[in-house]
Amino acid sequence: NIAGIRNKQGNVFGMMPHPERATNSVLGNIDGIKIFEILGLN
């Protein structure tokens, strides 16, 4: 899996966040739930 791509200078070319990985309190983070609430997918 690739989450982001950068060049030698460290500039970000592309980034793909995964909010679904931040929706379970057992994993220590539930900040991603907000994105699904906004989209009406909760």
Number of structural domains in the chain: 1
Compute CA distances 35 → 2, 15, 21, 29, whole Å: 21, 16, 12, 13
Question: What kind and span of H or E run contains 14?
Answer: strand 12-15
Q: 26: which DSSP letter?
A: G
User: What is the residue range of 27's domain?
Assistant: 4-38
pLDDT digits (tens, 9 = 90+) for 1-42: 667 788 888 887 776 777 777 888 888 888 888 888 888 876
* pLDDT value at residue 1: 63
pLDDT recorded at residue 41: 79
What is the reported pTM? 0.45
